[in-house]
Amino acid sequence: MWTPVGRGRWHGRALTVWATSAAHRGLLEPRLTPSRGAAAKSRTADRLYSSADRKEKIDMSRFSVENIRNFSIIAHVDHGKSTLADRLLELTGTIDKTKNNKQVLDKLQVERERGITVKAQTASLFYNCEGKQYLLNLIDTPGHVDFSYEVSRSLSACQGVLLVVDANEGIQAQTVANFFLAFEAQLSVIPVINKIDLKNADPARVEKQIEKVFDIPSDECIKISAKLGTNVERVLQAVIERIPPPKVHRKNPLKALVFDSTFDQYRGVIANVALFDGVVSKGDKIISAHTKKTYEVNEVGVLNPNEQPTHKLYAGQVGYLIAGMKDVTEAQIGDTLYLPKQPVEPLPGFKSAKPMVFAGMYPIDQSEYNNLKSAVEKLTINDSSVTVHRDSSLALGAGWRLGFLGLLHMEVFNQRLEQEYNASVILTTPTVPYKAVLSSAKLIKEYREKEITIINPAQFPDKSKVTEYLEPVILGTIITPDEYTGKVMMLCQARRAVQKNMMYIDQNRVMLKYLFPLNEIVVDFYDSLKSLSSGYASFDYEDAGYQTADLVKMDILLNGNLVEELVTIVHKDKAHTVGKAICERLKDSLPRQLFEIAIQAAIGSKIIARETMVVILPEK
Binding site listing for GTP = 75-82, 140-144, 194-197
**Can you say which residues are annotated as belonging to the binding site?**
75-82, 140-144, 194-197
206, containing H or E segment? helix 203-214
318, containing H or E segment? strand 318-322
Distance CA 470, CA 437 (A): 8
Q: Is the Cβ–Cβ distance between 12 and 559 less than 8 Å?
A: no
The candidate with the shortest Cα–Cα distance to 134, out of 240, 261, 233, is 240
Contacts of 115 (CB under 8 A, 6+ apart): 78, 103
How many other C-beta atoms are found inside a 10 Å radius of the C-beta of residue 239?
Answer: 24
Q: Is the Cβ–Cβ distance between 451 and 487 less than 8 Å?
A: no
The candidate with the shortest Cα–Cα distance to 11, out of 33, 26, 40, is 33
How many other C-beta atoms are found inside a 10 Å radius of the C-beta of residue 557?
Answer: 17
Distance CA 547, CA 390 (A): 28
Longest dimension (CA), the chain: 91
The candidate with the shortest Cα–Cα distance to 240, out of 94, 356, 132, 359, is 132
Instruction: Calculate the alpha carbon distances from 509 to 143, 216, 235, 259 in Å.
Output: 21, 19, 28, 37
Q: Is the Cβ–Cβ distance between 254 and 277 less than 8 Å?
A: yes
Instruction: Calculate the alpha carbon distances from 413 to 384, 421, 551 in Å.
Output: 12, 11, 30
Amino acid identity, position 190? I
The candidate with the shortest Cα–Cα distance to 154, out of 127, 176, 180, 185, is 185
Q: Which residues of 126-137 are buried (b: 16+ CB within 10 A; e: fewer)?
A: ebeeeeeebbbb
Number of alpha carbons in the 13 Å side-chain half-sphere of residue 548: 4
Can you list the positions of beta strands (E) in 383-497?
387-393, 397-404, 425-427, 434-438, 451-454, 466-481
Give the β-pairing of 561-562 and 551-558.
antiparallel
The alpha helices in 253-406, defined as continuous H runs, are 369-382
**Beta-bridge partners for 438:** 466
The candidate with the shortest Cα–Cα distance to 510, out of 472, 473, 536, 541, is 536
- CA gyration radius, the chain: 26
Question: What is the residue-wise DSSP string for 507-569?
Answer: SSEEEEEEEEEHHHHTTTHHHHHHHHTTT--EEEEEEEEEEEE-EEEEEEEETTEE-GGG-EE
Instruction: Calculate the alpha carbon distances from 377 to 292, 383, 423 in Å.
Output: 21, 10, 13
